Amino acid sequence: MKVALFVPCFIDAFYPQVGIATLELLERLGLEVDYPQDQTCCGQPMANSGAHREAAGAERVFARNFADYDYVVGPSASCVHHVREHFSAIEQTPCRRCIATPTSSSNSCTTCSRCASFPGPSFRTGSGCTTAAARCGICARPRIRKSRARRIRSRALLEGVKGIEFVTPARPDECCGFGGTFSVTEEAVSVRMGQDKVRDHLGAGAEYIVSGDMSCFMISKAAPNA
């Protein structure tokens, strides 16, 4: 099984430890993982801004880097969603369709989804102490096909950690403030949304917030008064 690690550009720039942790997690499953050195942005920021044609260059580089792998695993649900569902700025070759197809036949997947389905050792670990945790749901997921199945897989993975008690915020569908490039052009609005999101989770009694996308945490960390 040939597995490639896709590290999104914002993780490479701001959270390289997440890329390292993803690699260690996959290797714990007994997988041999490659990291294509020429990978760059998947093109999501351009596509989200309506610059569909301008995203083609990034998409071609992505397709060239990851075409020969059985699986492409990345620690960012929004980037993987873009690759699976919106990789349409380039020629629709068989190579491209293997990497990015909005069906189960696509080989691109999030870390949580793939770790929950790969055969390997159990992840049951922990101290046994009860910890209240809330999953920071990605606001786009209710509008994504098969999102319910993906949520079930990610929760099942977390339930392998002993001592976690799940709590639910009042507005699990509310955006954290990073749901697009408006987080750059409308900074004040974005930060306020992040503050509201953090307050909602804390109000539910969460001690930890867990997410399948580090981009959601970027705004939360920029909300000092939450």
Question: How much is the pLDDT for 134?
Answer: 66
Dist. CA 99–CA 122, nearest whole Å = 28
The pLDDT, as a whole number, for residue 84 is 84
pTM recorded for the entire structure: 0.76
Kindly provide the b/e burial profile for residues 24-50, where b requires at least 16 CB atoms within 10 angstroms of the residue's own CB.
ebbeeeebebeebeebebbbbbbbbee
> What are the residue ranges of helices labelled H in the chain?
9-14, 16-28, 44-48, 56-66, 77-85, 94-99, 111-115, 147-158, 182-185, 187-203, 214-221
For each of the chain's 226 residues, which pLDDT tens digit applies? Answer: 789 999 999 899 999 999 999 999 899 888 899 999 999 999 998 988 889 899 999 999 999 999 888 889 988 888 888 888 888 888 877 766 666 554 444 565 655 554 445 554 444 555 555 566 666 555 655 555 555 555 666 777 777 777 888 888 998 888 888 877 788 888 888 888 888 988 998 999 988 888 878 888 776 665 555 4
Instruction: Report the distance separating Cα 191 and Cα 206, nearest Å.
Output: 20
